[in-house]
Chain A
Amino acid sequence: MDDIKKIVKIFHGPQHPGITGNMSVELDLIGETIQRAQTHVGYLHRGFEKLIERRTVVQGFTIVCRICVPEPDPNEENYARAVETLAGLEISEKAKYIRTMVLEMSRIAVQFMWMGGQAGSMGLGLIPQWSVCDRDYMLDLFEELTGGRVYHMYAFPGGVRRDIPEGFLGRLSKLLDYYEKRMTVYDNTFFDNTTFKARAIGVGIVKKEEALKNGYVGQTLRACGIERDVRKDMPYLMYDKLEFDIPTREEGDVYARAMVRRDEIFQSIRILRQIIEQMPSEGDILQKIPKHRKFTLPKNDVYIQTESARGAMSYYMAGDGSEKIRRMQVKGPSLIHGFTLLEKMLVGSELADVAMIMNSLGICPPEIER
């Protein structure tokens, strides 16, 4: 019997198909049950925040999109909005609509990518093949709009870099129709899947009372019944003019988080349909901004939040009167979810559930290390 109780230490990642990027979780196991979990990062530290300090405002813009690979747009939005707030730039209504549209398109693309990861983590191999393919249709539109499929570099301080191509909104509308129909297939094969329900219900539970105090965000918060979303609580861009609901669940487990994400796809489609209808045909897309070397930020600081597809993402930015940014600090959902929450949540879980729990928390390692 003593042999069975022996503690075995294993590293889940950084080379592991069930890890959500370049990070590692050190696990102490007795049998299949986790006794202690410790997150290790540092495999992807590229020093973005330090790099920004050496660059001008315009040069910094090409760095921020790389902070989270599957989701560059909220980073671009935060960076652009922080610079605009410090520099006192006001952007046009059309630019605001376009940026809102890009954020919602990005949200759908991220949720399809997540669907692949979440299903793959429990052996449902067909779903990733479908959902990654469906995400690609959105990337096609991103390529048409911005010139880039993954990194867009589109939301620029003062507006956006390019106008919408002719017929773009029609093609977006057509894709939304396709996604709506397609969701029925995902409901049948994934969200109502018996295996998924058996594995995910009652696993990785977040308690409501600790969720707010510990600073959890996004679906982690909404899946335990707390209706918080930056788009509603502190509206930015055009969100106060658009109608949408915040999906919530009460259970707080992996399945509840998945269902919240599913419902959010429909809300994003709803928002995008309104944008397509309301998009102004006329208007500046980019305000006149100072030339590259003369674009200075005053000695001041600001704190900006954007609701990414995984939760609130915050930027602290400080200027010092020069053309370089004194300090830019990124705080995405992953820092707290990957350490404070994950290390605690994994204790008592089964080894086979680690990948599934990690996926449900939306952890993106480059965002932790910056």
Chain B
Amino acid sequence: MIEKLRSLSIEIEQKNEHLYKVSVDFQDLESTLLRFLNEFNYITLDSINYRDDIEDEKFCITYCLQTAKRDHVIMIQTFINREEATLPTMHRIWPQAEIMEREMHEMLGVDFPGHPTLIDFALEYWDDIPPLRRDFDTLKYVEGMDPFRKNQRDDNLDVKVEMKRIRAEKKAAKLKEEEAAAAEKENNEEPNNG
């Protein structure tokens, strides 16, 4: 199958023995997926993977397809803009895409026009930044949502400051010990002098 794809001058990157990648422009995504399904018999949509490349202001979306033999995986990868992130819904072709897209909508904030059920997936009434975006700060969120941790956790200490304080305390204790030892020594020596 891979040889057939190569003969049709489709650029394929071989990642390992069973894994191949095809990079496509966002505009060609839907037609490429349909072509792989109808012409090359990649009938199974195994997963839709996503990541936030915040430095490039892009989301990287990867569709993993398999043939009926399931002896290799082909990754169809595209990049979309972070702002106004929209993708075509594939749920009419692959029913399993419905739940995958619903998850991506909640976790990454991607819109799927025409999707029938873009409702809550695992989160309830979420109105913050979608949590799997890189600019969502988990620690800040956790500290903010807990009424007992509004002013940070009691044990939330700056390690550097703490280390400095402990070192200073140790130094002071050592100095005090040395002074006490010196004073004791002086006291012991005094009767002999008399």
Residues of A within 8 A of B (CB): 41-42, 45, 47, 49-51, 53-54, 85, 212-215, 228, 230, 233-234, 301-303, 305, 312, 314, 316, 318, 326-327, 329, 331, 335-336, 339-340, 368-369
Contacts and interface: CB of A to CB of B under 8 A. Distances in A.
A271 B47 CA distance: 30
A233 B98 CA distance: 27
Query: Which of A303, A312, A318 is the most central at the interface, judged by chain B CB atoms within 10 Å of its CB?
Result: A303
B73 A212 contact: no
Interface string B126-141: 0000011010101000
Contacts of A214: 44, 94-96
Given A212-B43, A302-B19, A336 B50 contact: no
A336 B97 CA distance: 9
Contact of A301 (B62, B68, B95, B134): B62
A233 B71 CA distance: 5
Which A-B residue pairs are the 8 nearest by beta carbons?
Answer: A327-B51, A316-B49, A42-B122, A339-B99, A331-B47, A234-B18, A45-B122, A369-B122
B123 A329 contact: no
Contacts of A302: 15-16, 19
Contacts of A316: 47, 49, 62, 64
Contacts of A336: 96, 99
Contact of A303 (B44, B64, B71): B64
Contacts of A233: 69-71
B30 interface: no
Contacts of A305: 73
Interface centre among A215, A230, A329 (most CB of B within 10 A): A215
B22 interface: no
Given A42-B120, A234-B18, A302-B19, A329 B49 contact: yes
A215 B94 CA distance: 9
Given A215-B46, A301-B51, A301-B62, 8 more contacts: A47-B138, A54-B138, A234-B73, A303-B15, A316-B49, A329-B51, A339-B99, A369-B122
Chain A binding site: helix, strand, loop or mixed by DSSP?
mixed
Interface of B: 15-19, 43-47, 49-52, 60, 62, 64, 68-73, 75, 94-96, 98-100, 103, 120-124, 131-132, 134, 136, 138
Contacts of B51: 301, 318, 326-327, 329
A47 B137 CA distance: 13
Contact of B45 (A49, A215, A301, A326): A215
B47 A329 contact: yes
Contact of B16 (A41, A45, A85, A369): A85
Nearest to B55: A320
A339 B136 CA distance: 27
A305 B44 CA distance: 15
Nearest to B71: A233
A312 B47 CA distance: 12
A89 to B, nearest CB: 13
A49 B47 contact: no
Contacts of A318: 51, 60
Contacts of A54: 138
B42 to A, nearest CB: 10
A213 B138 contact: no
Nearest to B134: A53
A47 B60 CA distance: 20
B45 to A, nearest CB: 6
B64 A50 contact: no
B50 A329 contact: yes
Contacts of B69: 233
A318 B45 CA distance: 20
A329 B52 CA distance: 12
Nearest to A365: B122
